[in-house]
Structure 1
Amino acid sequence: MVRPMKISARNILKGKVKAITPGSVNSEVVIELPSGQEITSIITKKSVVSLGLAVGKSAYAVIKSSEVMIAVD
């Protein structure tokens, strides 16, 4: 029996993979949220393969940060 994964991150955004741009070691992955906003992440090419990522496939952007910085000009 497979149990659902539990994760400590509080910011989990579901979307669809819009684009994958492979590099020599890493790939840029763009996830489009239902609102049309996009989140871009750089992950290893190996992770793209092991997660089975492909354009059009559902995926989650999981954001974990102990600090968020804000700046102004």
Structure 2
Amino acid sequence: MKISARNALPGTIVAIKKGATTAHVTLDVAGIKITASITNEAVDDLGLVVGGTATAIVKASDVLIAVA
């Protein structure tokens, strides 16, 4: 698969929490946890399972940081 995004972070799936329609999929990327919200249907279509591998692809025009 070719993709234009340059922020492709391969990791291991450590958690999948399905809700009514949306799932939170957490990857361990070199010791850092990254969570994505995707549809339950996408989890099933992609065959995602805890312990499997996947790549987090980050494509954003802004990254914001805030402090209290």
For each residue in 1:5-25, what CA deviation from the matched residue of structure 2 results, as whole angstroms up to 9, or x when unmatched? Answer: 111111000001000001000
C-alpha separation between the residues in 2 aligned to 1:31 and 1:44?
16
TM-score (norm 1): 0.85
Query: Which residue in the other structure is 1:42 paired with?
Result: 37
When you count strand as a share of all residues, which structure comes out higher?
2
State the aligned residue count: 68
C-alpha separation between the residues in 2 aligned to 1:45 and 1:72?
33
Extract unaligned runs of 5+ from structure 2: none
Extract unaligned runs of 5+ from structure 1: none
TM-score (norm 2): 0.91
Query: Which residue in the other structure is 2:13 paired with?
Result: 17
Amino acid at match of 2:51: G
Q: CA RMSD in A?
A: 1.1
- % of aligned pairs identical? 47
